[in-house]
Structure 1
């Protein structure tokens, strides 16, 4: 199995962790203590499962490092599973069934249900680091999702709720064919949400840069680059940036559907 930070053997200090796990509510998962999971189809890869239904999520998030020769040619997703891959660092060749896409840092590929996602490291022998997502697609009559590939550097930078120092980027179209979206939210130093949110949508968020303090169920918790946050439905949530670096994270959101009874 092994730990992704390669801290093995005898400890150098007392055992401690910043992890906070409150199933069906929220979780903070820092890099220290994350393990490598063996997942069929992934070759020469370190794969770590972050959020899953065992935590209370309706989706699964992964952190994946493709080493030299790293790939998944067996396919990921398909049938009723939608998937998305986002390149944190490096370069990969990703495919949605028979179409190939060259993705560099900030690049992403969404595969709708029925399309298999395949991955291969293309970073000249150096590792590539990915954020990977999957979810059961919630289909509605008359609408379908489709393949989407782009790079965040090409996306519109939206002033989040009119605030010029908080920038939102939508990775997927605002279209009823999509039952979810992936966003990147970026805070300039000292910027924050305008209020503490409470809503039905759940989130899985991976911190890409900087540091902040996040309100999770009215507990203010320090977070930083490399941390993962799970927020269940109706958990009060908000954050603000601290330090001198931009605080940003990529996160998923279920949307565009009514509630099933």
Structure 2
């Protein structure tokens, strides 16, 4: 399978472009299209050099509650020796362009496009671009929910090309998920997978469930059903779906439709308001 990954490069549109775009923000979902990910909306991060970030999700009342997601751009020679400020945060890195060297406990791991890293809370890691072109990657952060008697999962490094997609039952392989961790392993309280639809494939029912989602379109285009609306999405777009937002999909483009998917899993719902529970 040939794999391609859309990478944000920023820049600004010319003054002759129309203002109209596909950005949508509602109580149930948000769509951040690639056209709004411009230079003016990037952030610099403490202890990162030659780096900028598009922060496309963050814990916020009425928006993402369980995670933050960044699109990172690190220029040659850039990176950080103190990347994660929160010792209770776990993270996933997924590289879409260039190469990133992640050092964990003194051992180097070079992540190229398709490269994936899981970093548990309190992991001692650094990130450096030792190449000659910019490294672009997704960084998903979540406050790990510890459970008495269950170990924290260890760090690991892999690449999508080394993992066979798992077809959804009854779909003849038209809808498949590349799973980087065992879904039955309750040590993990989040999954970050890649979902692939062949042209014409569908989610044939309105998924309505407790899991919050972040979806970044890596390749192709589709029409997505979000709550009561159908929205067109394409490579480079990001969608946030709150818990219980009905969702479905029709992959109507000429090629495959693929996205990086975050979801929170394997934990009891808190019975206290989030502002009291510390979540």
Give TM-score, length-normalised by structure 2.
0.87
Q: Secondary structure at the match of 1:208?
A: strand
Match 2:93 to one of 85, 90, 101 = 85
Asked if the contact 2:66/2:142 (under 8 Å) is kept, the reply is yes
Q: Would you tell me which structure has more strand in proportion to its own residues?
A: 1
What residue ranges of structure 2 are gaps of 5+ in the alignment? 1-7, 272-279
Deviation (angstroms), 1:218: 2.2
Kindly tell me the number of residue pairs found equivalent between the two proteins: 256
1:32-72, Cα deviation, whole Å (9 max, x unpaired): 22221111122112211001113333210000111122212
Taking a change above 3 Å as real, the CA distance of residues 100 and 106 of structure 1, as seen in their structure-2 partners, is same
Contact conserved, 1:182 with 1:250, CA < 8 A, in 2? yes
Match status 1:240 vs 2:250: yes
Paired position in structure 2 for 1:67:
75
Moved more, 100-109 or 201-210: 100-109
Q: Give the Å deviation of 1:120.
A: 1.1
Measured against aligned partners, the alpha-carbon deviations of 1:52-107 in whole angstroms (never above 9, x if no partner) come to 11333321000011112221222225511101100111211012343321111111
Counterpart Cα distance in 2 of 1:146 and 1:95: 15
| Range moving further from structure 2, 66-75 or 227-236 | 66-75
Distance apart, 1:115 and its partner CA: 0.8
Q: Is the 8 A contact 1:75 1:116 kept in 2?
A: no
In 1, the alpha carbon distance for the partners of 2:124 and 2:56 equals 21
Q: How many angstroms apart in 2 are the aligned matches of 1:149 and 1:162? A: 31
Distance 2:54 2:255 in 1: 27
Structure 2 residue aligned with 1:100: 108
Q: Distance in 1 between matches of 2:166 and 2:181?
A: 14
Residues 33-182 of structure 1 aligned to structure 2 (within 5 Å): 33-34=36-37, 35-54=41-60, 55-76=63-84, 78-122=86-130, 124-143=131-150, 144-163=152-171, 164-174=173-183, 175-182=185-192
Deviation at 1:4, TM superposition (A): 5.5
Q: Which residue of 1 aligns with 2:29?
A: 26
In the alignment, is the contact (CA less than 8 A) between 1:77 and 1:83 conserved in 2?
Answer: no
Q: Which runs of 5+ in 1 are unaligned?
A: none
Distance 1:142 1:98 in 2: 29
Output the aligned Cα RMSD.
1.7
What is the CA distance between 1:207 and its match in structure 2? 0.4
Residue from 13, 21, 41 that aligns with 1:17:
21
